[in-house]
Structure 1
């Protein structure tokens, strides 16, 4: 019998080799002149003067109403005919947690188990992800890195998107815990072959499990003499108000029960994530000062009898009720789809909101919901100089063309591996 030798070659797969180097700390002051400034708080300044030094905004004014000495700012950018915006924020995102879905070793978005409040997504965040560099050219400069899976997925953190590593990227660490609230009904089948809709017979049991966990955690955190429990310890911020509870829920009954659950357990701050039917519970949400991170609006209604335009109009319905609304983009191909976040806001503008209200959905409103509005989300004095210049309307995919972008005053590189390929073959085949 012949011997058969099998030789296995192990190839070194470089999933992401990022040639870009994060920008260095701002050393020279910058003045952007004559652009239309969209402040992110609903205000617009024509012919604006936006100045920043040491990473902080130091001037927001009408250039025609002020006089500046020639040496007031070391670098001047003439942005006549262009627009200035605060950096967009992508909440409930898995950027940097998964690189290639089909490569298991690059997927670190979910931990095993059902109750994982102690799982910190930030330590798995890869600041050198190739996907991250593709979202910056559309103005997305910050993100909330959020775990997935289980009943309690874990703890999210907020980062800026031009960094060497996760420590370098941090804006706010451990900002909140994410709870996937039980559903009253379950769908069987798949998106291409839907099955029946069935009552969740375990619904009450699942609620009781959550109540027991939160009660035990509250008791643990009020007792100084105890054996250390990392799960309970991670939930302390929910009871003292230093962390948000992000409750992922879409159905009306889910949302109503989630609000009652949070109140019964003494949760100081909660936000609804998803909120497809939040408009049905808008009075309850407004009364309890609960904001909504609205699910991807470029989607179909969940039920056959709903208005086909409902996803586009929901932001308007909630805003009119006085609810703070932001936009999130979780779902299929969500990391690559992050670059479309501005155009979700643009669709909301086409269906009821004015353009500045729509802009707030991905700037100041989101910053408020994440608890970072004191440092970013709008172009205001003392806030981080995280902003960009666009040739046109940043909420319109035809005219969102960035010429400059700054994160904490640092001018970042907007070139990506995609633009490199575009320029390479444009040069080859563009010649006649």
Structure 2
């Protein structure tokens, strides 16, 4: 039986990797002009009849099509279409795991509890077919984040069209990821405990371990440590402000405890990830200038006494409170990251303005991740990382890309998924 399972795993691996990813696009050589489309700039603004020009990977003009300026190079007719900045997926392990059932393709976590020196970037698989499948939905960049442990490691931000991790890197080692302990835990029914939530008796002990680690890491940076300690050395960017500390917490107490401890330990920039109950303590978050990468909206409430639609409206509640908010895929499977646009679209149904919803996966996420100088919005001088859609990209009925560019390079929108779609569309049309 064991051998049979191994054979099946190998067969799946071979089938999945039987054909390589589309070859990355070459560098942009000429000028590209997109005229007549509705341009959604990613900062809340819209240009109905737009003119977008880019060359050498940078946007040279973004404005109304009525502007008198020379049109040269490749011209794309945008009438009736929409242009968006490339969507950004924070806090994802894309490229670190391909098939959950095949251990050889799973490199998203390492052994150990406090391992900030584990770098996700060097394990990133630029030829991942799962990564490739993000592009037809407009997801063109991502923060590749390690999982596991209390301090999981160091993330990096990449673009999704590259030969290898060196080519993919947009921002190297941007932050450390701390998964805060919970005050309550699920009952281990298989060990005789009752189902449901129980108080975590080890919470304070777990918090103390984090506190001691942060204080020792700070002392190490101040010269108090002896010898080389890779874990402590990896934390220094969080104390000098060159890296951010991404804290994963959901409950009110957990959020307050985590942010207070991080600030008291000398961490300069903290980002809250998850924040399920963050809407209850928005004043605290604003006071401490904490942005939130909130969980995806397609979810169910955790507790019985919560509003049935809390996950749907949570990002809007935080935005309405004046917080800087971005959307992330949370604990959903990696492949669901391609639905990022539809998570944002869900907020429109909750009353959020469509352009503000778009900001949660473009301009806001770029600002939170620290890549807003080049990505996240359509503006002169920024990277030409954008796409053209036949309709509303936040609606699955309109999210049909015709062109996509990363740093001005026109990338392929063909993937394993589109191949299957075409194959079975033909089968359906023929009635066989």
Judging changes above 3 Å, is the alpha-carbon distance between structure 1 residues 230 and 58 closer, same or farther for their aligned structure 2 residues? Answer: same
Residue of structure 2 equivalent to 1:68: 69
Deviation (angstroms), 1:368: 0.7
Quick check: 2:21–2:128 contact (8 Å CA) kept in 1? no
Judging changes above 3 Å, is the alpha-carbon distance between structure 1 residues 123 and 296 closer, same or farther for their aligned structure 2 residues? Answer: same
Judging changes above 3 Å, is the alpha-carbon distance between structure 1 residues 212 and 27 closer, same or farther for their aligned structure 2 residues? Answer: same
Q: Deviations over 1:19-59 (max 9, x none)?
A: 41000000011110000000000000011001111101110
Q: Where does 1:312-351 land on structure 2 (aligned, <5 Å)? A: 312-332=312-332, 334-351=333-350
| Structure 2: unaligned runs, 5 residues or longer | 1-5
Deviation (angstroms), 1:224: 8.2
Residue of structure 1 equivalent to 2:364: 365
Of 3, 27, 30, the residue aligned with 2:29 is: 27
Deviation (angstroms), 1:18: 1.9
Judging changes above 3 Å, is the alpha-carbon distance between structure 1 residues 19 and 205 closer, same or farther for their aligned structure 2 residues? Answer: closer
Residue of structure 1 equivalent to 2:161: 162
Question: Is residue 229 of structure 1 aligned with residue 262 of structure 2?
Answer: no
Of 41, 50, 54, the residue aligned with 2:52 is: 50
Deviation (angstroms), 1:321: 1.5
Quick check: 2:92–2:145 contact (8 Å CA) kept in 1? yes
Residue of structure 1 equivalent to 2:396: 397
Deviation (angstroms), 1:419: 1.6
Quick check: 2:180–2:248 contact (8 Å CA) kept in 1? yes
Find the aligned partners of 2:392 and 2:274 in 1 and give their Cα distance: 27
Q: Where does 1:130-149 land on structure 2 (aligned, <5 Å)? A: 130-149=129-148
Quick check: 2:295–2:329 contact (8 Å CA) kept in 1? yes
Judging changes above 3 Å, is the alpha-carbon distance between structure 1 residues 227 and 335 closer, same or farther for their aligned structure 2 residues? Answer: same
| Structure 1: unaligned runs, 5 residues or longer | 1-7
SS state of the match for residue 430, structure 1? helix
Judging changes above 3 Å, is the alpha-carbon distance between structure 1 residues 25 and 224 closer, same or farther for their aligned structure 2 residues? Answer: farther
Deviation (angstroms), 1:421: 2.6
SS state of the match for residue 337, structure 2? helix
Q: Deviations over 1:286-307 (max 9, x none)?
A: 1111000001211111110000
Quick check: 2:34–2:53 contact (8 Å CA) kept in 1? yes
Find the aligned partners of 1:410 and 1:101 in 2 and give their Cα distance: 32
Residue of structure 2 equivalent to 1:113: 112
Quick check: 2:150–2:179 contact (8 Å CA) kept in 1? yes
Find the aligned partners of 1:67 and 1:271 in 2 and give their Cα distance: 43
Q: Where does 1:273-352 land on structure 2 (aligned, <5 Å)? A: 273-332=273-332, 334-352=333-351
SS state of the match for residue 134, structure 2? helix
Q: How many residues align?
A: 419
SS state of the match for residue 110, structure 1? coil
Judging changes above 3 Å, is the alpha-carbon distance between structure 1 residues 262 and 316 closer, same or farther for their aligned structure 2 residues? Answer: same
Deviation (angstroms), 1:426: 3.6
Question: Is residue 417 of structure 1 aligned with residue 416 of structure 2?
Answer: yes
Find the aligned partners of 1:299 and 1:97 in 2 and give their Cα distance: 24
Find the aligned partners of 1:297 and 1:360 in 2 and give their Cα distance: 15
How high is the TM-score relative to the length of structure 2?
Answer: 0.94
Residue of structure 2 equivalent to 1:4: none
SS state of the match for residue 167, structure 1? helix
Find the aligned partners of 2:266 and 2:126 in 1 and give their Cα distance: 35
Find the aligned partners of 2:321 and 2:336 in 1 and give their Cα distance: 29
Deviation (angstroms), 1:422: 2.7
SS state of the match for residue 365, structure 2? helix
Residue of structure 1 equivalent to 2:197: 197
> Over aligned residues, Cα RMSD in angstroms?
1.8
Deviates more, 1:293-302 or 1:36-45: 293-302
Q: Deviations over 1:259-311 (max 9, x none)?
A: 11111111100001000100011001011110000012111111100001111
Quick check: 2:137–2:399 contact (8 Å CA) kept in 1? yes
